[in-house]
Structure 1
Amino acid sequence: MTPHAKAPLGALFWAFTRIGLFGFGGGPSMIPLVQQEVVKHHAWLSDEEFADILAIANTLPGPIATKMPGYIGFRLAGTLGCAVAVGAVILPMIVAMIVLLTTLNRYRDMAWIRGMGQAVVPVVMVMMGQLTLDFWNKSRLALGWIISLVMAAAAGGLIYLAGVHPGLIIGALLAVALLCPLPKGRAKHEETNP
């Protein structure tokens, strides 16, 4: 991973506050928002670094909604950055939960309240689809489309048919990557010729 300039704590706070405010649906729906803020908007991380952080975060226990901000904040601004990023992402969630649960409890029988919950689902689906397409393109460029397709099919089969936890598959792939790294000549060729 290449070093990046440290992120100002104020910018880190507002970036993760926006993620906390608009991250409807929990952790998985926040992943594209995190990528948008830290990779595309602020350029604090590259796409490859973000993919590595996402893979590691998926192997660790606990909610991804706090693991990713914690690690990214720590990486960009040390221990204080970790605390700022995690606090910024959970504070809007806590306030929104209190306000929304109170409102939902009071008006739960109204049709427009039920419609709000149903309207968010397609938006999250599109966001996850975009993230999947981004990762497919990166995988295809790095490994080739045949290997990427075989790995995706094997992972899908293990997860959906055999019931293997995704964290175990990601952990196994990380172990293989550590034990059998890409030859240096090929890695440099792929960096210069994506």
Structure 2
Amino acid sequence: MRQKDIFLAFLRVGLLGYGGGPSSIPLVHKEVVEKYKWMNTDEFSDILALGNALPGPVATKMAGYIGYRVGGVLGMLNALIASVVPTIILLVILLTSLNAYKNEPWVKGMAEAVVPVVTVMLAVLTWGFVKKSGESPLGWGWSVGLILVSFFLLEVLHLHPAILIFVLLAGALLKGNSTEKEKNKEQKNL
């Protein structure tokens, strides 16, 4: 019975979660916390925070973890299949339909019209990140410096983004450790 519930819960999320992972999160909460009561809101928040910290789609990571927690390995596979298969089927149907009419002017126009809209959406998202980093403890100077250096490394030197992210994360960890050691030293001196 539990495997059936896991499947149905994540199938509903997969079918109704239009707009990607962030739009699916309230649906997952409704199923997992409110309907089936597999966890409370605090536990769900912890899983959401951890899911956002890891790479990949958040809805899929949450489905995998919650499925595993509720139903073991079979529950994990069950939840992943239920949350991913509806998207795959809809994508195949949509792309097959559009491919059949790819030479039609309205399909070409649709595809061309999406590019500027996505560009604006990404620009708004980027500006939000820039503002957030400028208002962070790093401040505007460091933020602008890191943006410029990152742009140079990625666009001029063609450095792989994963390498840059790894170096920045390692630098942040090392800086965090040195700050901790300095605080501990100061506390010992008091």
TM-score w.r.t. structure 1 length?
0.59
Matched with 2:142 is: 147
Which secondary structure does the structure 2 equivalent of 1:112 belong to?
helix
1:91 matched to 2:95? The reply is: no
- Select the structure of larger CA radius of gyration: 2
Indicate yes or no: 2:99 matched with 1:105: yes
The alpha-carbon deviation at position 170 of structure 1 amounts to 0.5
Q: Where does structure 2 lack aligned partners over 5 or more consecutive residues?
A: 1-5, 30-40, 181-190
State the identity %.
28
Within a 5 Å distance, the mapping from 1:161-176 to structure 2 comes to 161-176=156-171
How does 1:7-18 map onto structure 2 within 5 Å?
A: 14=12, 17-18=15-16
| Cα deviation, residue 50, structure 1 | 8.0
CA RMSD of aligned residues (A): 3.6
CA displacement 1:67-117 (0-9 Å, x = unmatched): x43434456665568657754553343223321233233222211111121
Partners of 2:66 and 2:130 lie apart in 1 by: 27
Q: Which residue matches 2:59?
A: 69
Residue 147 of structure 1 deviates from its aligned partner by 0.4
TM-score by length of 2: 0.60
Q: Is residue 158–residue 164 contact of structure 1 (8 Å, CA) maintained in 2?
A: yes
User: How many residues matched?
Assistant: 154
Judged with a 3 Å threshold, the aligned counterparts in structure 2 of structure 1 residues 82 and 139 are, in CA distance, closer, same or farther, namely farther
Distance in 1 separating the partners of 2:93 and 2:52: 35
Q: Which residue number corresponds to residue 115 of structure 1? A: 109
AA aligned opposite 1:180: K
User: More relative contact order in 1 or in 2 (CA 8 Å, sep 6+)?
Assistant: 1
The structure-2 alpha-carbon separation of the partners of 1:37 and 1:95, relative to structure 1 and needing over 3 Å to count, comes to closer
**Structure 1 residue 156: deviation in Å?**
0.6
Matched letter for residue 147 of structure 1: W
Q: Which amino acid in structure 2 is aligned with residue 69 of structure 1?
A: A
Secondary structure of 1:109 counterpart: coil
- Equivalent of residue 155 in structure 2, options 160, 173, 176: 160
Say if 2:125 is the partner of 1:131.
Answer: yes
Structure 1 residue runs of 5 or longer lacking an equivalent are 1-8, 23-32, 58-63, 185-194
From the superposition, tell whether residues 71 and 118 of structure 1 become closer, same or farther in structure 2 (CA, over 3 Å).
same
